[in-house]
Amino acid sequence: MIKRFFSSTAEVPDSVEVPRHVAIIMDGNGRWAKKRFLPRVAGHAQGVDRVRGIVEACIERGIEYLTLFAFSSENWRRPQEEVSRLMELFVMALEREVTRMHRNGVCLRVVGDLARFDQNLRDLIEQGEARTQENHRLTLTICANYGGRWDILNAVNNWRRDNPDSVDLSEEALSPYLSMHYAPEPDLFIRTGGEQRISNFLLWQLAYTELYFTETLWPDFDAEKLDLAIDSFRKRERRFGRTSEQLLER
Ligand code: IPE
Ligand code: IPE
Ligand code: MG
C-alpha cells in the first residue's frame, strides 16, 4: 500500500516540535582520521560505529524516519582501496546490526542503484529489509550508490514504462516512483563535516526541508549534537511560500 503524504509544494504540513523525518549527510570521516594520523578507512569504521547511537537517539526522541547518506553515485571515483573497504564495512554493519535493529523496532530500507553492488551485499540488504519490514518504530533508510539525479531520472523512466501513452507528467504521478515514496519529505536535513552543499543527495525531497550544517565531523556526532540541530529546527518558521500572517490564521 502506498501512503499519501503532504507535498511541500502543494500543502502546509502541521508544524511539529520534533521533526518526523531527519536526513543526514554523514560527512567528515576522512578528516577525522587525518587529524589523528590514521588512514581514512579508520574514520569510516568509526563513522559506522556512530550510526547505532544516532539511530537509538532518534527512537528516543520520537523521530519516525531517519535517512542516512552512506555512499553516493560519485563515491565510486574514490581510490579503489577505499571503495572496497567501504563495501566491507557495509557488509559487516548489516551482519552485525540487523538483529539489534529488529529488536528496537527499526524498519530498514536501502535505496539507490543497488545493481552495482556484489551479490553477497545485495542478499544481505534483501534479508535485512525482509526481516524488519513489519517494524514501525523508526524507518531507517540507508542511501547507497544513491544520487538525487539518478532517483529523479529513474522515477521518470519507470513512470514512462508504466504509462507509455501519457504525455504530461505531474508531481503527484511521479511521487510514487521516487525511491523514498514510503516516507514524508524530510523536515530536517543535517550535514556534518562543515561543507555547505547537497552533494546530489535527495534533490527532489529537500524542496522545503530545513537545512542545518555543522562543523562537527561525523565520527564526533552524538545525541547532544543531534539535539542542537533539533533545537535549531524548532526555532525556524516554515512558510512553504506563504506569509507569516497566513500561517498564524491556520
Ligand atoms: C563521508 O566522509 C563518508 C563517505 C563519503 C562514504 P568522507 O570520507 O567524505 O570524509 P571527508 O569529507 O573526506 O573528511
Ligand atoms: C557526500 O559526501 C556523500 C556521503 C556522505 C555519502 P562527499 O564527501 O562525497 O561529498 P563532496 O564530494 O564533499 O561533495
Ligand atoms: Mg566528504
Q: Which ligand is nearest to the CA of 217?
A: 1
Give the closest residue (by CA) to ligand 2 atom 2.
27
pLDDT at 28 over 60: yes
Q: Classify residue 62 as left (phi > 0), alpha (psi -120 to 50) or beta.
A: left
Give the closest residue (by CA) to ligand 2 atom 10.
199
Helix (H, G, I), strand (E, B) or coil at 86: helix
Tell me the Cα Rg of the chain.
Answer: 18
pLDDT digit string, tens, across residues 125-173 = 999 999 999 999 999 999 999 999 999 999 999 999 999 998 899 999 9
Write out the three cell numbers for 154.
Answer: 529513474
How far apart CA 29 and CA 45 sit, in angstroms, is: 9
- Which band of pLDDT confidence, cut at 50, 70 and 90, is reported for residue 6? confident
How far apart CA 102 and CA 128 sit, in angstroms, is: 9
User: How would CATH label the architecture of 21-233?
Assistant: 3-Layer(aba) Sandwich (3.40)
pTM of the model: 0.96
User: Which atom of ligand 2 lies nearest, measured to the CA of 27?
Assistant: 5
**24, 25, 26, 31, best to mutate for ligand 1 pocket (most atoms within 8 Å of CB):** 31
- Strand order in 210-213's β-sheet? 106-111, 138-146, 65-72, 21-25, 188-191, 210-213
Task: Please state, rounded to an integer, the average pLDDT across all residues of the chain.
Answer: 95
Q: Which residue ranges make up each domain of the chain? A: 21-233
- Which band of pLDDT confidence, cut at 50, 70 and 90, is reported for residue 14? confident
pLDDT digit string, tens, across residues 180-230 = 999 999 999 999 999 999 999 999 999 999 999 999 999 999 999 999 999
Write out the three cell numbers for 37.
Answer: 594520523
User: Which atom of ligand 1 lies nearest, measured to the CA of 25?
Assistant: 1
User: Which atom of ligand 1 lies nearest, measured to the CA of 32?
Assistant: 14
Helix (H, G, I), strand (E, B) or coil at 191: strand
**Could you give the residue numbers annotated as active site?**
27, 75
Q: Please report the pLDDT score of residue 1 as a whole number.
A: 47
